[in-house]
Structure 1
Amino acid sequence: MTVQAGQERTSPPDPSPQQLVSATRGGEKQGAAERVTLALFIGVPFLALLAAVPVAWGWGLGWLDLTIATVMYFVACHGITIGFHRYFTHGAFKANRALRLTLAVAGSLAIEGPLVRWVADHRKHHRFSDKEGDPHSPWRYGESVPALLKGLWWAHMGWLFDEEQTPQQKYAPDLIADPAIRAISRLFWLWTLISMMVPPLVGGLVTMSWQGALTAFFWGSLVRVALLHHVTWSINSICHAIGERPFKSRDRSGNVWWLAVLSCGESWHNLHHADPTSARHGVLRGQIDSSARLIRWFEKAGWARDVRWPDAERIAARRAA
């Protein structure tokens, strides 16, 4: 069925029983080996990144580099979370033309692939979440420790190199029908170039030095993109392997609180899979969701309308028993 982005999408039918690979085991406890495997997979890369910051401070990292990297990170991150995900994929709100195109470009700056492909892949993920046909489920190979390690790698980034491509005409016909969106998607190479070159340009002009350009490129381009990619991919891997599941969903999506700020609210993943078109993912007390806050501001400015905010009744209806 062809839909327009910004309108409510009807969820595709569930896969047939023959396609199901395993039942959701949301209430089961993880074994010790599984917990250790997850802890190593999750903790080591982030500890390495955190250790690099104090080591590099004053030796190639300063306030200017940190500011450039932070601004670029959250512009691109919100472009993905608000634009590619909540708006283009799920139609959580309707946007005026200027905001629609701005979100398409901002999300492209994250360098996570062309817009149309990103949306097609994610819609397919929701149709087959954690079942056969899901492009990036960490449970793809089974539940033993070796299978989980292989599955986590697949869900995190291995699936990006899969030769099998999601049919875009089937999963994103509404975006293909929009000439401007098609053009932005085809110009992915241009947005990649801009995303990588803006930090060194700013760093070089502010410091009037090649050294300033070089350090801004390293932290504001390379490190910033790598961090954003791993945070985004962690929603596919980590948030489908661990986390609290207070809401009913037909998969293993979980809420991972310590990813909330860096993921701009996307790590409240259990609610998202329980209610995919909701404009807010962090619906419980204390759950930070900067993407929902920005959507609220867009709504007040008149740039967004028909926002699908979850009310108390809607939230209660999706609570797990």
Structure 2
Amino acid sequence: MTVADSPARPDSAAPSAPTGAKPVLDGTRGLPQQIGVYVFVVVPLLALVAAVPFAWGWGLGWSDIVIATVFYVVSGLGITVGYHRYFTHGSFKANRPLRIALAISGSLAMQGPVIDWVADHRRHHAFSDKEGDPHSPWLYGTGPAALVKGFWHSHMGWLFDRDQTNEERFTPDLLADADIRRVDRLFGLWSVLTLLVPALFGGLLTWSWWGALTAFFWGGLVRVALLHHVTWSINSICHMWGDRPFAARDHSANVWPLAIASFGESWHNLHHADPTCARHGVKRGQIDISARVIWAFEKLGWATSVRWPTQRRLDRLAKAK
């Protein structure tokens, strides 16, 4: 992969980084939003729990596997390349069609509207593993009981908190983008489509209602739940255990078993050492699928000003450890 030098930005950096003039929180979520969180988290989780007996009793067809894999890749890359590396950190510039496509594909992961997700993640970087971080596992202490509580909180417990991140402080650039505001407002539609379109494909491929039902289960609910927990593992596992070859101001670490499922997000230590870098897996053998996708977008001319790492920059980060 061709690399070009790019200056570092602070951990909280993103397009139009927050000035700190506005409060971190903007009240609490309303009851409808809170109910939505429970539905989006709990229903796919119940499907994931039921997946083993379901597969044992009724099987898992080839069409279910193909549909689930395709939607996992599309929605997963929407989170990693879109929500995270592009919208949160500005690791590259995207043309308008790509920008809209990334916002929609990330919405298909059912992890929240794009502006809400980005605001929470920029707040995470601004206060990483300190008071104010929405999902640090280190907020309750270092004893065994405290770490168990911290793991639960960082993995998914924080989602049930009603605190609302101040979007005017953390995402003024996205609020000023009419296309992204429109995609954000239609999150309910994307959530319905991400479950029903797999069912439609399953029905058409098998020409049966049963095929539609199993595709809804595997390609919709189970796929969403699996991607949920892979993403949340970056917040929990990758801030508790793993290798830390680069200097970061928190507990971020690399966890190699999650690399492929997370499309390279689990090379988390370098990401926190240099948040706007487009590539997270920078050492030999560190597979980073998201970086390869960004590289392909660059070659196609859809992405520009990509912030690739340089050896000089990496050596400086390693020495500062």
TM-score (norm 2): 0.84
Return the letter of the residue paired with 1:245.
R
Q: Which residue of 2 aligns with 1:151?
A: 150
Identity %: 64
RMSD of aligned C-alpha atoms?
A: 2.1
1:163-202 superposed Cα distances (whole Å, 9 cap, x missing partner): 1111001000000001110010011000000101111100
Gaps of 5+ in 1: 1-6, 15-44
Report what 1:65 is aligned to: 64
TM-score by length of 1: 0.84
Question: Are residues 312 and 231 of structure 1, via their aligned partners in 2, closer, same or farther at CA, if it must alter by over 3 Å?
Answer: same
Letter in 2 for 1:88: F
How many residues are treated as equivalent by the alignment?
282
1:102 aligns with 2:87: no
- Cα shift readout 1:103-158 (whole Å, capped 9, x = no counterpart): 00000000000100000000000000000100000111111111111111110111
In the alignment, which residue of structure 2 is the partner of 1:208? 207
**Amino acid aligned to 1:282:** G
Q: Which amino acid aligns with 1:226?
A: A
Q: SS of the counterpart of 1:165?
A: strand
Shift of 1:58: 8.2
Q: 1:60: how far off?
A: 2.9
* CA distance 1:247–1:11, change in 2 (3 Å): farther
Q: CA deviation at 1:52?
A: 2.7
Aligned position for 2:184: 185
Structure 2 residue aligned with 1:272: 271
- Deviation of the 1:11 alpha carbon: 6.5
CA distance in 1, matches of 2:15, 2:97: 22
1:319 maps to a residue whose letter is A
1:196 aligns with 2:195: yes
Q: For residue 134 of structure 2, what is the aligned residue in structure 1?
A: 135
Paired AA for residue 199 in structure 2: P
Partner residue, 1:310: 309
Residues 72, 227 of structure 2: 8 Å contact kept: yes
Flag the structure with more relative contact order, 1 or 2, with Cα contacts below 8 A and sequence separation at least 6. Answer: 2
Aligned residue in 1 for 2:33? none
* Aligned-partner Cα distance in 1 for 2:222–2:63: 14
**1:27 maps to which residue?**
none
Change (3 A) 1:144 1:297: same
Q: Is the 8 A contact 2:17 2:170 kept in 1?
A: no
Question: Aligned-pair distance for 1:12?
Answer: 6.3
Deviations 1:63-82 (A, max 9, x none): 11011001000100000000
Q: Which residue of structure 2 lines up, in the alignment, with residue 52 of structure 1? A: 52
Match of 2:114 in 1: 115
Please give the alpha-carbon distance, in whole angstroms, between the structure 2 residues aligned to 1:8 and 1:228: 24
